[in-house]
Amino acid sequence: MVTTTPKLCLVDVGGAGGLQPKWLPHAQRIMPVMFEPNPAEAAKLRQTFADGLVLQTGLSNLTEAHDLHITRWWGCSSLRKPNREMLRKYRIAPLFEVQRTASVACTRYDTLHAAGEVPAPDAIKIDVQGFEYEVLQGFGGLLQGCLGIELETHLYPLYQDQKLLHHLVAFLADFGFVLRALAPVPSFDGDVVEVDAWFTKNIHAWRQLDPSRQEKFRLMSQVWNLLDYARIDPNGPHTQLAPA
């Protein structure tokens, strides 16, 4: 009897522009769930990813409307106001100038899941410009079953009252996540201000996964270019790393 591994559920928060190119070669093995509050962008995603799920809403830790601060460059727009005092140090500052605001309806991911509207996440990608912490809070207990998270975050506050990388590290540790990789975003005149960060469940949690979940973990690690835990610990908790 031939069995197939269930598709990896990839939740993409801030999905404008579609899936990241690195996931496209594995499109047959993933189920994308994409969040895009902009109606025009959400319509484009539905046309491009007919087999995926596109929700025209924002995510947060509360079910309520937020003001979206739309900046000169769309990619800097956020549910938080830009921190002008911090940004004025950098040449990129004009791109963060707010042009207008728009009201965005937001909800919690776990609320949508409880209503049967979205599946439980296996992997999460978040690009929400300073609102990452609140989005993660909205997943609630579903983070216990999630395998990995990729997000863009900051070491210094580019947005008012935002949580920084160290807050995210502490929050996700409570769900068994560890920080696996960082990549600076080179937009701040040589300073490391903004980074892409990758988290996965720790190796102890990985050991407890069933074969289907380990296969999803392997795919995720491959796409994110992370060291496969199986290469470190193929035979269990007592295996020692050999010297290089």
Segment 107-161, tens digit of pLDDT: 999 999 999 999 999 999 999 999 999 999 999 999 999 999 999 999 999 999 9
Would you tell me which CATH number, out of the four given (1.10.10, 2.60.40, 2.20.70, 3.40.50), belongs to the domain 13-225? 3.40.50
- Whether 72 and 95 have beta carbons less than 8 Å apart is answered as yes
Residue 234 has pLDDT above 60, yes or no: no
Q: How would you classify the pairing of strands 123-126 and 148-154?
A: parallel
- CB contact at 8 A, 100 and 125: no
Lowest mean pLDDT among 102-106, 187-191, 232-236: 232-236
Beta pairing class for 177-184 and 194-201: antiparallel
Q: What is the rounded average pLDDT of the residues 80-98?
A: 97
User: For residue 136, which of 122, 126, 147 has the smallest C-alpha distance?
Assistant: 126
Query: CB burial class (10 A; 0-12, 13-18, 19+) of residue 236?
Result: exposed
End-to-end CA separation in angstroms for the chain: 42
Q: pTM of the full predicted structure?
A: 0.91
Q: Does the pLDDT value for residue 229 go beyond 80? A: yes
Contacts of 236 by beta carbon, 8 Å cutoff, 6+ apart: 207
> DSSP secondary structure string, 177-212?
EEEEEEEE-S-STT---EEEEEEEE-HHHHHT--HH
Examine the pLDDT at 205 and tell me if it is beyond 70.
yes
Please tell me the distance from the alpha carbon of residue 127 to that of residue 125, in angstroms, as a whole number.
Answer: 7
Q: Are strands 53-55 and 8-13 parallel, antiparallel or unpaired?
A: unpaired
In the chain, where the domains are located:
13-225
pLDDT tens, position by position, 33-63: 999 887 777 888 888 777 789 998 999 999 9
Tokens of 129: 């410009």
